[in-house]
């Protein structure tokens, strides 16, 4: 169980960096960056994958609780 909690803690530790990266990308788009469309797509992709990872980690933790 400690490994699962460590994983969730590690994910939580990366959350601010994900927010910072997305915020910087949004700012670049607002400033009219020539690759604004691509930046927007990459931000969405990052957010989707990050949310998916959190869902999988939470499911894994929940499932492992029932197995143990």
Q: Note the pLDDT tens digit of each residue in 49-67.
A: 999 999 998 888 777 765 5
- Where do we find the tokens 């910087």? 24
**Helical residues (DSSP H) of the chain, grouped into ranges:** 2-30, 36-67
Cα 64-66-68 angle, rounded to 5 deg: 70
Domains in the chain, CATH or no CATH each: 2-67 (1.20.58.60)
pTM for the predicted model, two decimal places: 0.83
The per-residue pLDDT for 65 is 64
- Where do we find the tokens 């490994």? 3
Six token digits for residue 20: 């910072």
Q: Note the pLDDT tens digit of each residue in 26-52.
A: 999 999 999 999 999 999 999 999 999
Distance CA 43, CA 23 (A): 9
């Amino acid at each position: 169980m400690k490994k699962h909690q460590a994983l969730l803690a590690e994910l939580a530790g990366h959350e601010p960096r994900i927010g910072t990266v997305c915020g910087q990308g949004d700012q670049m788009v607002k400033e009219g960056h020539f690759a604004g469309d691509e930046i927007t797509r990459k931000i969405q992709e990052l957010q989707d994958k990050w949310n998916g990872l959190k869902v999988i980690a939470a499911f894994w933790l929940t499932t492992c609780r029932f197995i143990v």
